[in-house]
């Protein structure tokens, strides 16, 4: 049935957003990208499509996007292999212009992670999970 899940995100500047995501370690899929029209980014097995606000509005039946400075509609989570990878990623996000609003820390004794907002305010959660420490 489902081969992949694609996240379609509205962005103010396709190129700047593509540069942000590649700077933090995601992979640009140039064969599915078109300058100023869309950028395709791969994160693990997931595909993230970055569209200008106006184009995504057409796909959404004319609905406006939410104001990410006032609301959070979704928190997109992804895993990392190690705690050190989480620490490195948090530094890359800061350097690339993202907003780390929760620094890397231990969560519930078996997770280590941080949360950040990308250039357009979309919320992300990077986690390293040690399932051997769960009950």
For 1-16, what is each residue's pLDDT tens digit? 677 788 999 999 999 9
CB of 27 closer than 8 Å to CB of 44: no
Residue 78's pLDDT is what?
Answer: 93
Residue 115's pLDDT is what?
Answer: 97
Q: Which residue numbers in the chain have pLDDT < 70?
A: 1
Residue 30 is inside which H or E element, if any?
Answer: none
Residue 72's pLDDT is what?
Answer: 83
Residue 36's pLDDT is what?
Answer: 75
- The domain defined by 1-65 folds into 2,3-Dihydroxybiphenyl 1,2-Dioxygenase; domain 1 (3.10.180)
Residue 1's pLDDT is what?
Answer: 63
CATH of 67-135, one of 3.10.180.10, 1.10.10.60, 3.30.360.10, 3.40.50.1370: 3.10.180.10
Parts of the chain belonging to CATH 3.10.180.10: 1-65, 67-135
> What is the pTM (predicted TM-score) of this model?
0.88
Q: Measure the CA–CA gap between 94 and 97, rounded to whole angstroms.
A: 5
Residue 132's pLDDT is what?
Answer: 87
Residue 128 is inside which H or E element, if any?
Answer: strand 123-129
Instruction: Provide the pairing of β-strand 27-28 with 39-43.
Output: antiparallel
């Amino acid at each position: 049935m489902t081969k992949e899940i694609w996240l379609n995100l509205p962005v103010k500047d396709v190129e700047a957003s593509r540069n942000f995501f590649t700077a933090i370690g995601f992979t640009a899929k140039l064969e599915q990208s078109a300058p100023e029209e869309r950028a395709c980014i791969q994160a693990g097995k997931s595909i993230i499509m970055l569209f200008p606000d106006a184009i995504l509005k057409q796909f959404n039946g004319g609905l406006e996007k939410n104001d990410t400075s006032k609301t959070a509609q979704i928190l997109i989570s992804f895993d990392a292999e190690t705690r050190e990878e989480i620490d490195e990623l948090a530094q890359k996000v800061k350097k690339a212009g993202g907003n780390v609003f929760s620094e890397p820390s231990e969560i519930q004794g078996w997770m280590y992670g941080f949360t950040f907002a990308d250039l357009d305010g979309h919320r992300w959660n990077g986690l390293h999970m040690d399932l051997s420490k769960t009950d």
